[in-house]
Amino acid sequence: MLKLGVIGYGYWGPNILRNFSSQPGCRVAAICDKNPKALARALSLHPAVYATSDLDEVTGSPEIDAVAIVTPVSTHYDLAKKALENGKHVFVEKPFTATSAQAEELIELADRKNLVVMVDHTFLFTGAVRKIKELVDGGALGPLYYYDSTRVNLGLFQHDVNVIWDLAPHDLSIMDYLIGLEPEMVVATAGAHLNGLEDVGYMTLYFPNSVIAHINVNWLSPVKVRTTLVGGQRRMLVWNDLEPAEKIKIYDKGVEVGTEQGVHQLLVSYRSGDMWAPKVEETEALQLETRYFLDCVAEGKRPFNDGRAGLRVVRMLEAAEESLKRRKEIVYASSH
Amino acid sequence: MLKLGVIGYGYWGPNILRNFSSQPGCRVAAICDKNPKALARALSLHPAVYATSDLDEVTGSPEIDAVAIVTPVSTHYDLAKKALENGKHVFVEKPFTATSAQAEELIELADRKNLVVMVDHTFLFTGAVRKIKELVDGGALGPLYYYDSTRVNLGLFQHDVNVIWDLAPHDLSIMDYLIGLEPEMVVATAGAHLNGLEDVGYMTLYFPNSVIAHINVNWLSPVKVRTTLVGGQRRMLVWNDLEPAEKIKIYDKGVEVGTEQGVHQLLVSYRSGDMWAPKVEETEALQLETRYFLDCVAEGKRPFNDGRAGLRVVRMLEAAEESLKRRKEIVYASSH
Amino acid sequence: MLKLGVIGYGYWGPNILRNFSSQPGCRVAAICDKNPKALARALSLHPAVYATSDLDEVTGSPEIDAVAIVTPVSTHYDLAKKALENGKHVFVEKPFTATSAQAEELIELADRKNLVVMVDHTFLFTGAVRKIKELVDGGALGPLYYYDSTRVNLGLFQHDVNVIWDLAPHDLSIMDYLIGLEPEMVVATAGAHLNGLEDVGYMTLYFPNSVIAHINVNWLSPVKVRTTLVGGQRRMLVWNDLEPAEKIKIYDKGVEVGTEQGVHQLLVSYRSGDMWAPKVEETEALQLETRYFLDCVAEGKRPFNDGRAGLRVVRMLEAAEESLKRRKEIVYASSH
Amino acid sequence: MLKLGVIGYGYWGPNILRNFSSQPGCRVAAICDKNPKALARALSLHPAVYATSDLDEVTGSPEIDAVAIVTPVSTHYDLAKKALENGKHVFVEKPFTATSAQAEELIELADRKNLVVMVDHTFLFTGAVRKIKELVDGGALGPLYYYDSTRVNLGLFQHDVNVIWDLAPHDLSIMDYLIGLEPEMVVATAGAHLNGLEDVGYMTLYFPNSVIAHINVNWLSPVKVRTTLVGGQRRMLVWNDLEPAEKIKIYDKGVEVGTEQGVHQLLVSYRSGDMWAPKVEETEALQLETRYFLDCVAEGKRPFNDGRAGLRVVRMLEAAEESLKRRKEIVYASSH
């Protein structure tokens, strides 16, 4: 029986608490939050859990085997470090850390202590992403051409991170999972209109083998969009996460370049066949992910969404930050 | 009665010929194309038009008052120059020219000779764009925040220009029209997968007053998308050009930042009200635009979509080209 | 403080219990169900409620002021009668009763005892229906022409009633509310394919003033549809209850018949203007309805969704039943 | 070389003329219309065709082998009879005739004279209907349960026939083609709001083997809908004719009724799998149909959309008419 402490009971914490609570072989022993109202809410649903505002009662308790860190990103490093130093496995919200140096240190620490670190890249456990992974790995799409995601809506404005740090980690973790390579170059552009933090942002990632990825994130859109296009040589797919049914549509469409001799212009021909929407499993992603965490701890396995996966996402975010920063220097230097 | 010569009868030429032919006060006197089959097609629909493969019979004919240039962009400069030098008004396809230097020279020449140059930014004459212009100018959206366009489909692959030069001019001319300012900086990213020309491309344009614009163009998309989001301080709109009705939806939605004293975090509040889809006029854009060209010639007026408007679009395309080129240098220099 | 007993804790019971529990001035004193598992589920969420499988402990208890009857329709009459005879107000699921005779008897009984009967026509309390009612009563649509609803999906098959008794009461109660008149004639058609009960059904209702209503209900549809068209002389609206936003779209469209003299053919002209999607309130319907029940009891008011409203819906269902039955006689009699 | 005369050049005539004109082995020799403007329009596009307002020059001309009758239904019988009597093959608009007696007479006459009669049930030649026919005949859907079509929009109001005679023939001819059986009973309901003709109508058709069909036609709908659901035991499909791509979606969904012994309630279980949108051919239906007419004439074949198919549709329309009429009698008789 693994005894878990949950730190943070804000927007996402209730889902973490509910899912770990319902897993066989796991008992949520403690919940920690500085906000007494949050603790009261947690207790009303989970009366048997010990509630505290003292972090050390969780990260330092000999009763606790693992901690789930569900707090703002700026606190992840300190909390995870303390937990790991005290010999506890760690389940931590995305993005893993605020800097890649922090991530590297935590990875090294966990390795040394032989502890599991799992970063909550929840989308990797959805039926949709698991189906797309299966299609990509099985060759249904052929070699990939591009990954293009739009993730926009009105709000929720964050006060500590910009729209790229807030929304892009979902797509970065998914493309990291699907493409299996690190980008060669990252270009980001963004605009800020309200509280100084970027609320509209774009990222392009150049991967090896001419794979290009693009992310469009926006807190100021009048409509909610969650649509990703994935283009391959053989087939292309559209994933619309807002569709209640038929989230993924696979198009038997493609382009071929002919090689006829003596022709000046390249012959580009189009192929257009059936569309197919495979059934997508509907099990709650977090249920599968929390189960997977418990299994990794029990069997001493390293999860695929481990600290290294978290580090790769943080590196892409840092590269975006750097790209934005350089641009600003150029902007102010230029005179039109 | 203005006598017009049309040069080029490929994909778009038939529309130009049909529209000018039906305008009162205009007679299409000659059609020129190197391809005999194209001429035959033109004659079958317009038997009274003189058909020729000799350019000089159009640009040099004393019978002809104006020419419509409906050929690939690489030929625009030579054809327009010859026509202007021979005292003819010019209606020319977008993009205006292959370089801004060419555009500047043609503008200077037309000014000197007091001739009309109109660049065929057809979208500016659609009911949708005219309605959006009216909303922006009337203050319905408030100060603009962003313009974000997605223009993707499968093909048609071009052999002489990449996807940005092919598709982005539509959006560049529209945003130039709506925003009324030139961008301070342009960032472009793109990928090429088939014949060496970029088939997936992205542009970000930074305008004064924190207005940011973004364009997503793609020849390799399994689905056709023609959607533009325009966000302003007061309201936001979605323009879906594929909708048969309700092309424009205006959302009474917005975000406000509070300024309460003594509060650490900025208070961001959301406003969400009605949606409204104004009726959009359905007159064919090219009918209005060809009428406007004839009126400008008759009244000696300079059109708003003149050579200068064409030049501004070419400058943005050149900036995108330059941005892409610099990136390539960096890519090859870097070792991951 | 009104003390309520809830009878039945199946599919809908939990919503009734949750909503009454959260209302000020109301205490759910007892919950009754024959199924011990259902009672256990109720207790896990509402530990303070008295749980019993003995109906008399609810309908007969002097501690209880009102009962909510959330059981299959065949039991409504007996339960409501017992409750009313014992002086309790009654909140009862739709359809009110299995026959109009039962409904009439209950209405008479409640009137005599001065007790409130409310039939749970939940949809009348949704933001969408309240907005449509406001538009109809305010004359925005003009005199009504038709009401046409499609309510189809895969399952859930009922074992005691056919698809018309299962799904049509929603639409019947809504049209009764909007039109405010009783139908002059009801025609129903239907087909049965699996367990002998009709799984595909259609109703047409002829109202005075040439208002026609139509309902399409189907348990065997591969897609879920919840769309209603309401046409009036001045405007028409589409209510799509599956839209997360913009549930109601009002079209400034219409048809006018000219009266030009001497013209053989009537001149029919079309008017087509803007579309408008008013913001629809999102408060849970059952929260408003349970509040309204408590207020009616407290103030001795007769609710607009009283037993008479329930009776009108039952009458339409009976008429449909009769129409179906007559058809069957004809079918078997005919030889093609 | 078959020489064809076309009678009627209104809304649909231009399509008939254009398609027959472009068929090898066919020459449109004459076009007849009472309206001189219509003839002028025809001549501007087809200058070589002989234009006349005298019917006898077409139906009586020894130069002409076949006539296409593209006039209002009330005239079909007289025109077709005259043409057949003069030994001409006949291509005639839907619905075939105004009464089933007329249709029977024409069939008998054509049989006797060994002439081809084809009724223009255009939809049967669309890629969508041919694909659905292939799916039904191949058993992909299993035994059919229902066919449910919605065909609504604003206008075009007809002056001679009601909305059922105007729009339902499309669906009636399609269901006749797909189901392959004649209905056992027809029930129609309808409302009239403007010029005395029904503008909103509903038909239910009971076929053998519990197949039920339903048609919803409406000239007063603010939105255009062209959606048909076809449910079978194995699979179900949705045909949305307004979708530019993916017109047909086949759902691997179904319901099964268990037969467990000793269980009171029937066990109904749901099956929900993939969705699949087969590519649908885009050749213009009328091109295939006019080709088929010419082939039938050349080879002396009887078309599947012959006079008998036309008669079956007219019979269903007559049954609907009869059903509506009886209802009216009842309405006026009843006092609520």
Q: What is the pLDDT of residues C114-126, one digit of tens each?
A: 999 999 999 999 9
- What is the per-residue pLDDT across A235-273, written as a single tens digit (0 to 9) for each? 999 999 999 989 999 999 988 776 555 444 556 678 889
Q: Give the integer Cα–Cα distance in Å for B9 and C226.
A: 49
**pLDDT tier at D256, thresholds 50, 70, 90:** confident
R_g (Cα) of chain C, nearest Å: 22
Please count the residues of chain C: 336
What subunits make at least 3 CB pairs under 8 angstroms with A? B, C, D
Tell me the C-alpha distance between D166 and D101, whole Å. Answer: 20
Instruction: Give the number of A-B residue pairs with CB atoms closer than 8 Å.
Output: 165
Which residues in chain B touch residue D244, judged by CB atoms under 8 angstroms apart?
224
Instruction: Share the mean pLDDT of chain D.
Output: 93
Query: Are the beta carbons of C154 and C220 closer than 8 angstroms?
Result: yes
Q: What residues in chain B have per-residue pLDDT under 70?
A: 156-157, 258-267, 329-336
pTM above 0.80, yes or no: yes
> Cα(D283)–Cα(A262) distance, rounded to whole angstroms?
33
Probe site for chain A from B74, B132, B144, B189 (most A CB atoms < 10 A): B189
Of A193, A231, A265, the CB nearest to B210: A193
- Give D273→chain A minimum CA distance, Å: 5
Q: How far is C292 from chain D (nearest CA, A)?
A: 32
Specify whether domain C2-115 bears CATH 3.40.50.720: yes
Which CATH number, 3.90.1170.50, 3.30.360.10, 3.30.160.270, 3.40.50.1100, labels domain B124-280+318-326? 3.30.360.10
**Check whether domain A127-282+318-326 has CATH 3.30.360.10, yes or no:** yes
Please answer whether residues D211 and D144 qualify as being in contact, where contact means their C-beta atoms are separated by less than 8 angstroms. yes
Q: How far apart are CA C258 and CA C267, in angstroms?
A: 5
The Cα C140–Cα C233 span in angstroms is 9
Q: Is it the case that residue C296 has pLDDT exceeding 80? A: yes
Residue C56 predicted with pLDDT over 70: yes
Q: Determine what percent of chain D falls in helix, strand and coil, rounding each to the nearest 5.
A: 40, 30, 35
**Which of B162, B200, B259, B328 to probe the A interface (max A CBs under 10 A)?**
B200
Q: How many helices (H) and strands (E) does chain B have?
A: 9, 14
pLDDT band for position D262 (cuts 50, 70, 90): very low
Integer Cα distance of D65 and D46 in angstroms: 19
Q: Is the peptide bond before C156 cis (omega within 30 degrees of 0)?
A: yes
Structure tokens at C136: 């109809």
Distance, in Å, from the CA atom of A115 to the CA atom of D180, rounded to the nearest integer, reads 69
The pLDDT, as a whole number, for residue C264 is 47
Chosen from C156, C229, C271 to mutate, greatest number of chain D CBs within 10 A: C229
Where would I find the H helices in chain D? 13-21, 36-45, 56-59, 76-85, 100-113, 127-137, 163-179, 285-299, 307-333
Q: Are D253 and C222 in contact (CB under 8 A)?
A: yes
Instruction: Report the candidate in D305, D310, D306, D309 with the shortest Cα–Cα distance to residue D97.
Output: D310
Please state whether C262 falls in left (phi above 0), alpha (psi between -120 and 50) or beta.
Answer: left
Contact D275 A277 (CB under 8 A): yes
Q: What is the CATH number of domain C124-282+318-326?
A: 3.30.360.10
Residues of chain A falling short of pLDDT 70: 156-157, 258-268, 329-336
pLDDT per residue as tens digits for the range C238-260 = 999 999 989 999 999 988 776 55
CA distance B292 to chain C (A): 26
Q: List A228's β-bridge partners, or say none.
A: A149, A239
**What pLDDT score was predicted for residue A328?**
75
Domain boundaries, chain B: 2-115, 124-280+318-326
Residues of C in contact with B246 (CB under 8 A): 275
Residues A71 and A9: their CA atoms lie apart, in Å, by: 8
pLDDT of residue C263: 45
| pLDDT for residue D157 is more than 80 | no
Q: How many CB pairs under 8 A join A and D?
A: 26
Provide, rounded to the nearest whole percent, the portion of chain D with pLDDT above 90: 86
Residues of B in contact with C252 (CB under 8 A): 279
The residue of chain B nearest to residue D222, with distances taken between CA atoms, is: B245
Residue-wise pLDDT tens digits, B302-317: 999 999 999 999 999 9
Other chains touching C, judged by 3 or more CB pairs under 8 Å: A, B, D
pLDDT at C332 over 70: no
Amino acid identity, residue B65? D
Contact yes or no for A272/A153 (Cβ under 8 A): no
Closest CA to C246 of C231, C233, C224, C227: C227
Phi/psi for A323 (5° steps) reads: -65, -45
- Of D141, D157, D315, which to mutate for an interface test with C (greatest number of C Cβ within 10 Å)? D157
Q: Answer yes or no: is pLDDT of D158 > 80.
A: no
Rounded to whole angstroms, the Cα distance separating A28 from C224 reads 39
DSSP B200-239: EEEEEEEPSTT-EEEEEEESEEEEEEEEEEEEESS-EEEE
Tokens for B289, please give them: 């635009």
Residues of A in contact with C245 (CB under 8 A): 223
Determine the Cα–Cα distance for residues D333 and B172; give it in Å rounded to an integer: 69
**Any idea what DSSP says for residue D124?**
G
pLDDT of A116 reads 98
* Residue A224 with chain C: CB contacts under 8 Å: 244
Compute the distance between CA of residue C240 and CA of residue A309 in angstroms, rounded to an integer.
42
C-alpha distance from A277 to closest chain D C-alpha (Å): 5
Task: Tell me if C69 sits within 8 A of C13, measured CB to CB.
Answer: no
Which element (helix H / strand E) includes C132?
helix C127-137
pLDDT at A181: 95
How much of chain C, in percent, has pLDDT values that exceed 90? Answer: 86
- Which residues from chain D sit within 8 angstroms of residue A127, using beta carbons? none
List b or e across C289-324, with b for residues whose CB sees 16 or more CB atoms inside 10 angstroms: bbbbbbebbeeeeebebbbbbbbbbbbbbbbbbebb
